[in-house]
Amino acid sequence: MSNQQSEPTVFIVDDDQEVREAIQLLMESVGVTAVSFASAQAYLEQLDCDRPGCLILDVRMKGMSGLDLQERLAQEPLHPPIIIITGHGDVPMAVRAVKAGAVDFIEKPFNDQTLLDAVHRAFDQDARNRGQALRIADIQERLARLTPREREILDQVIGGKRNKVIAADLGISQSTVEAHRARVMEKLEARSLSDLMRMMMAIEQVGP
């Protein structure tokens, strides 16, 4: 995630050149970097999920549709939040897109301030997503420091078992459990059991 500190970019994907140009001019008028693409495929060819920002996406386009692109991006662990722009006849599809995770949908012709507000909400969401991704990566890096036995002890502790019970289950002394547990806390940089629990809950939320 080398570009975490760079300014966010608005990626515009719409097969209508006038719409693309209008949105790009609007963004640049308020000092926001914007890049436009005439098709979903063109956007995918330069996709860099490390680059912060958001995606303004038309639902109905030639070739790959906006919904198809949204489905493709859902396969990425981290991608720009999506704002859907749509014609009046495409509202049901736009609602589907929002249910699938899009930040908002805006009908054409759109109000400039409405779109700018949506972009700032999307930027905020992207920053939160990236902050969480960095935190998860940091926790996973700490977990990788554990030995197999320490990981076993960790799982038992997270399961709510006391040291005495863990010792009996693993056939080791209670003092050995306590020593392993202390090293787990040290390697994970956990200050308390509740801190440890929060770390593991964060990992569980994103899956393996």
- Domain membership of residue 109 (yes or no) is yes
Residues 82 and 14 in one domain: yes
- Could you give the percent of the chain with pLDDT greater than 70? 95
Gap between the Cα atoms of 48 and 64, Å rounded = 19
pLDDT tens digit sequence for 67-111: 899 989 988 888 999 999 988 767 787 788 888 788 898 888 889
CATH number, domain of 160, equals 1.10.10.10
Mean pLDDT of the 48-56 span: 93
* Residue 97 within any structural domain of the chain: yes
Phi, psi of 55 (to 5 degrees): -120, 125
Tell me what the mean pLDDT of segment 23-34 comes to: 96
The CATH number of the domain where 86 resides is what?
A: 3.40.50.2300
Is the confidence at residue 3, as pLDDT, over 50? Answer: no
Q: How far apart are the first and last CA of the chain?
A: 19
Cα-atom radius of gyration of the chain, to the nearest Å? 23
Beta strands in the chain (DSSP E): 9-13, 33-37, 53-58, 82-86, 104-107
For residue 2, tell me if it sits in a domain.
no
Residue 206: predicted pLDDT: 61
Total structural domains in the chain?
2
Chain Cα centroid distance, residue 63: 27
Long-range CB contacts (within 8 A, 24+) of 103-108: 103/54, 108/19
Q: What is the mean pLDDT of the chain?
A: 89
Residue 1 falls within a domain, yes or no?
no
β-pairing verdict for 33-37 and 53-58 = unpaired
Rounded to whole angstroms, how far apart are CA atoms 37 and 13? 5
Question: What's this model's pTM, rounded to 2 decimal places?
Answer: 0.76
User: How far is residue 64's CA from residue 49's CA, in Å, rounded to a whole number?
Assistant: 19
Is residue 56 classed as helix, strand or coil in its secondary structure? strand
Q: What percent of the chain has pLDDT over 90?
A: 63
- Contact between 44 and 74 (Cβ < 8 Å): no
For 178, phi and psi rounded to 5 degrees? Answer: -60, -40
| Full domain range(s) for residue 162 | 145-206
**pLDDT tens per residue, range 141-161:** 999 999 999 999 999 999 899
